[in-house]
Every structure is written in C-alpha cells, then in structure tokens.
Amino acid sequence: PGSGKTRIVAELARRHADRLVVVPEAATQHYSSIGKRWDELDLDGRREAQRAIYRLQLAQEARLGAAHPDKLL
C-alpha cells in the first residue's frame, strides 16, 4: 500500500486512453462496501473477503473486456 501503483496506472491510462482501460481495484471496492479492513475480520471473514474480491475482479475484467475488446485491461 502507498507505493503509487494506482496513480501510475491512472496516468498510463490517461496517456494511452486509445489502448488501455483501467479495471477498478477490487479489494478497495470490497472493503469499502463492507465497511471493515482486513485486520478487523476473523479467519472466516478473511477467507470470504478473498473469495469476494476474486469474484469481483473476474466480473469486472469480463465486463470491461467485453465492452472494450480492442484495449488492454
């Protein structure tokens, strides 16, 4: 966290909007939606969070890939 990955990806997408589409960060979306951080979850909660993040990531990639077949995700 905090190393600038999101900022770099956003800048690359801005500079190369004709070739790139940014997939939103699934983990951030998930933790925002449940209102808790990773360290506030018990073991079962952490496992479910990982599953939910994985499913969300796949769904977003499928949706954006279908909407922008000519671009890199």
Neighbours of 14 (CB within 10 A): 10
HSE toward the beta carbon, residue 37, CA cutoff 13 A = 2
Q: Which residue has the tokens 């079962």?
A: 44
Residue 6 has pLDDT above 90, yes or no: no
Per-residue model confidence (pLDDT) at position 11: 94
pLDDT digit string (tens) for 12-70? 999 999 999 999 999 999 999 999 999 999 999 999 999 999 999 999 999 999 999 99
Per-residue model confidence (pLDDT) at position 3: 86
HSE toward the beta carbon, residue 20, CA cutoff 13 A = 13
Per-residue model confidence (pLDDT) at position 2: 77
Q: Are 9 and 18 in contact (CB under 8 A)?
A: no
